[in-house]
Structure 1
Amino acid sequence: MSARFEGTADYVATEDLTVAVNAAITLQRPLLVKGEPGTGKTELARQVAESLGAPMIEWNIKSTTRAQQGLYEYDAVSRLRDSQLGEERVHDVKNYIRKGKLWQAFEAESRVVLLIDEIDKADIEFPNDLLQELDRMEFHVYETGETIAATNRPIVIITSNNEKELPDAFLRRCFFHYIRFPDMETMRKIVEVHHPGIKADLLTTALTQFFELREMQGLKKKPSTSEVLDWLKLLLAEDLSAADLKQEGGNALPKLHGALLKNEQDVHLFERLAFMARGQRR
């Protein structure tokens, strides 16, 4: 298994991102990846796993997720019910231990990539509750008295959408990388991966409209990489040309704008600015 991430044919990794991934692997620290939604943070973990030939374990964090769930959960209710029914399995507490994602990663026969996705969705104490486990790569199971230690230290990738600040103690233990929104040239490469052979004039016109839209002041939600890819897919499906886009360009909403603008406030903002621009030209 390769020890270095070099990107993959399906994922355009910038040089600074590649450096960050390999630095985290070398330091054996979690890689904390931030960036606005749609910049490929989650996909990065999948591509690192593919590039290194490693299995991936994905832990999707929600607002109700507790750190303990990543280690294990003890199902005391099932054990009580089984004891009332006289079940034989009740005598072995291990029958009621559910292994969490960290446990699965620690006991894997080969090194895995462990993705802890959108850590900032959880309670503010969540990152601190995982400090020791991620640092020492082991934890104690109180019900059985055993210590679970990592057989092969996993590559840990943690994503955050910056919804809340993460604790300093947690940040100190991570290698940090912020994925900047792709510039025009990087976006061209990304599009070429997903839509190979797209006509150059169509791509130039579409991306010009896309970046102009993103730069509009007052947008509640800027369209992301994943949304421009969806938009281009629709343009290709409708067999639209650069000329078709230019007809709607300037001060009108882009064709099939529902793939780019996701709330009525942004649509109304665009229409209002377009109306004002037309008035100034008269």
Structure 2
Amino acid sequence: MQFKGTKAYVATDELQMAVNAAISLQKPLLIKGEPGTGKTMLAEQIAESLGLELIQWHIKSTTRAQQGLYEYDAVSRLRDSQLGDPKVHDIANYIVKGKLWKAFDSEKQVVLLIDEIDKADIEFPNDLLLELDKMEFHVYETQQRVQARHRPIVIITSNNEKELPDAFLRRCFFHFIKFPDAVTMEKIVAVHYPNIKKDLLAQAMDIFFDIRKVPGLKKKPSTSELIDWLKLLLADDIPEEILKNQDMKSAIPPLYGALLKNEQDVHLLEKIAFMHRAKR
């Protein structure tokens, strides 16, 4: 079982090696990188490439580790007891399976995505140490021991908003997705827009990478934002000459709202452009 990328996802040799190493070691693959570098999409493409089901657990600031295992619905049981429903006598009727339980209980191996783990409380990763290491957990209400039928391929993503505990990191295979260079970026764009004109792409790429080099940007535009920007350029049929004559020092690019995501960065580029024009 080897991951080699897909037609819809350009995976570097290093990323392919990381995925396959994690699968061989039967360890969770911890993926870090800038937002928009394809971390979440990686899990989707691994599942598609290997012909496996994908179970996604998207983490929020309020998510608890227990929710990934199961939750006991005491409110429903209380309501049913008031209505005289006979199923209240079996507490198992009120155990709601979480994403990990579903992955463990699958009849076939699955890919389990734990997305943006760093959004949760700092103790969240520690609360999953045993479950991800031993692939089992205990249901206290029913005294049931749940074991994985098949060890899932676990992909964990992080945007590095919080430091993850050392004990958790030791149990993972780590890979940092570097921001694509120009050659790799062209391959990524070709997946989305195979017929894009070379001149238009070259001019757009120059502007994109020039923006990323501007010091002081609060948020550098990412791969996904470049894809969105190109889509708008193609949809609006922006002439190549406009981009070709674009000077990043004297003007901000057309349809910049696809690239810049906050007013501070817009003001910064406007200030740079104004200062450059004033010197002329």
- TM-score bucket (shorter structure): over 0.9
TM-score (norm 1): 0.97
| Cα distance, 1:279 vs structure 2 | 2.4
Contact 1:206 1:242 in 2 (8 A): no
| Cα distance, 1:249 vs structure 2 | 3.0
Hey, what does 1:70 align to over in structure 2?
A: 68
Hey, what does 1:235 align to over in structure 2?
A: 233
1:74-132 CA deviation, whole Å, 9 max, x = no partner? 01121122112211110111110000000000010110000000000000000000000
1:243-270 CA deviation, whole Å, 9 max, x = no partner? 1212333421101001001111101100
1:136-168 CA deviation, whole Å, 9 max, x = no partner? 000011111111100010000000000000000
**Could you tell me the percent identity over the aligned residues?**
71
Hey, what does 2:243 align to over in structure 1?
A: 245
Contact 1:58 1:115 in 2 (8 A): yes
- Secondary structure of 1:126's aligned partner: coil
Hey, what does 2:84 align to over in structure 1?
A: 86
Contact 1:32 1:159 in 2 (8 A): yes
The answer to whether residue 127 in structure 2 is matched with residue 133 in structure 1 is no
1:165-176 alignment runs, 5 A limit: 165-176=163-174
| Cα distance, 1:208 vs structure 2 | 0.3
Hey, what does 2:177 align to over in structure 1?
A: 179
Contact 1:140 1:148 in 2 (8 A): yes
Contact 1:63 1:121 in 2 (8 A): yes
Match of 2:149 among 148, 151, 154: 151
Moved more, 159-168 or 247-256: 247-256
| Cα distance, 1:219 vs structure 2 | 0.4
Hey, what does 1:188 align to over in structure 2?
A: 186
Please list every run of 5 or more consecutive structure 1 residues that lacks an aligned counterpart in the other structure: none
- In the aligned structure 1, how far is the partner of 2:4 from the partner of 2:272? 44
| Cα distance, 1:242 vs structure 2 | 2.2
- In the aligned structure 1, how far is the partner of 2:13 from the partner of 2:190? 18
Structure 1 letter corresponding to 2:78 = L
Structure 1 letter corresponding to 2:3 = F
- In the aligned structure 2, how far is the partner of 1:235 from the partner of 1:77? 53
Please list every run of 5 or more consecutive structure 2 residues that lacks an aligned counterpart in the other structure: none
- In the aligned structure 1, how far is the partner of 2:10 from the partner of 2:246? 30
TM-score (norm 2): 0.98
| Cα distance, 1:197 vs structure 2 | 1.2
- Secondary structure of 2:125's aligned partner: helix
Structure 1 letter corresponding to 2:79 = R
1:207-222 alignment runs, 5 A limit: 207-222=205-220
Contact 1:248 1:255 in 2 (8 A): no
Hey, what does 2:263 align to over in structure 1?
A: 264
Structure 2 letter corresponding to 1:30 = P
